[in-house]
Amino acid sequence: MQQCLRVPTFGAIEAGGTKFVCGVGTGPDDLRVTSFPTTMPAETIARAVEFLRGETLTALGVGSFGPVELDRTSPRYGHITTTPKPGWRDVDLAGELRRALGVPVAFSTDVNAAALGEAKWGAGRGVGCCLYLTVGTGIGGGAIFNGVPLQGAMHPEVGHIRVPRDRAIDSFDGVCPYHGDCLEGLASGPAMAARWGIEPRELGPDHPAWMLEARYLALGIANIVFTIAPARVILGGGVMHQTQLYPLIRREFVQILNGYLRMRQIAEDIDGYIVPPELGDRSGVLGGVALAMAGSR
């Protein structure tokens, strides 16, 4: 008699403000994905459910745009909360998916999910603790310690840290509606576009904009490194497609530390300390798989 053993498989959703990426699998080698635009909640969630319903899932992992509620003691756990995106405010994303699919749902921020994907299968594997920072429409970060997103009383909002600036060099006021010239206000993609009056990707690679951008990002990274000391820093997001930024950021970062932090990883191999992601545009959806796996242990 033959026994049919079903290999456990996992569902994943990278719920972005522009598109949803849904996946099924157990890792990079067997992941099957689909994606579609983020329209209104009912329609978008229905399309995700339709894709995932045919599978025998052990669990589903969701990394969502936010702000989201991650406090498990809150009645709004798993909700998207105060987003300005039409229709999505106060949507119980995790709850609706759980009820429709009948599987446990592990829920986190989109950035935490991408960080987890990179930590498990990408640039952060094997280092114990890594920081993933995305620099694009906004600046966001997630830190993974021993396979688990670092989570205090809420998720990290490192994009909004303040860094020193010299107004004699840069008189730009910043674009953050809350803080003006916080890191996101000074160095996100929209901040660059507003400062230079042109989309960042239209600036030539030798434009002085990149030197200033590298300086602000290095100051932000240094502040985070002084606080949580990750063993590796992974920089992703649209702005980081400008690969000339990596060596500039490394140089500024080393200058800012000025020999103070005696961390082997930095002293011995700065090129291996501040690195690009390895999973390309699959960090987020693979992070969803990793979330589902961790949540179902």
Interface residues with its own copies (CB under 8 A) are: 67, 71, 81-82, 128-129, 141, 145, 150-165, 178-179, 181, 219, 222-224, 226-231, 256-265
* Minimal distance, residue 289 CB to its own copies, in Å: 25
* Minimal distance, residue 227 CB to its own copies, in Å: 5
Residue 280 CB neighbour total at 10 angstroms: 10
Closer to its own copies by Cβ: residue 139 or 192: 139
* Minimal distance, residue 221 CB to its own copies, in Å: 11
Q: How far apart are the first and last CA of the chain?
A: 30
* Minimal distance, residue 151 CB to its own copies, in Å: 8
* Minimal distance, residue 8 CB to its own copies, in Å: 28
* Minimal distance, residue 121 CB to its own copies, in Å: 21
Closer to its own copies by Cβ: residue 55 or 157: 157
Distance from C-alpha of 220 to C-alpha of 119, rounded to nearest angstrom: 21
Structure tokens at 281: 């545009």
Closer to its own copies by Cβ: residue 29 or 268: 268
Closer to its own copies by Cβ: residue 223 or 296: 223
Tell me the DSSP string of 42-105. HHHHHHHHHHHHTS-EEEEEEEE-SSB---TTSTTTT-B-S--STT-TTB-HHHHHHHHH-S-E
Distance from C-alpha of 151 to C-alpha of 191, rounded to nearest angstrom: 28
* Minimal distance, residue 72 CB to its own copies, in Å: 11
According to DSSP, the residues that pair with 132 across neighbouring strands are 142, 234
Residue 282 CB neighbour total at 10 angstroms: 23
Closer to its own copies by Cβ: residue 106 or 256: 256
Closer to its own copies by Cβ: residue 194 or 231: 231
Q: In what order do the strands lie in the sheet with 232-236?
A: 148-149, 139-145, 129-135, 232-236, 274-275
Judging by DSSP bridges, how do beta strands 19-25 and 9-15 pair with one another?
antiparallel
3-state secondary structure of 163: coil
Closer to its own copies by Cβ: residue 12 or 217: 217
Q: Tell how far CA 23 is from the center of its chain.
A: 17
Distance from C-alpha of 163 to C-alpha of 167, rounded to nearest angstrom: 12
Distance from C-alpha of 38 to C-alpha of 47, rounded to nearest angstrom: 10
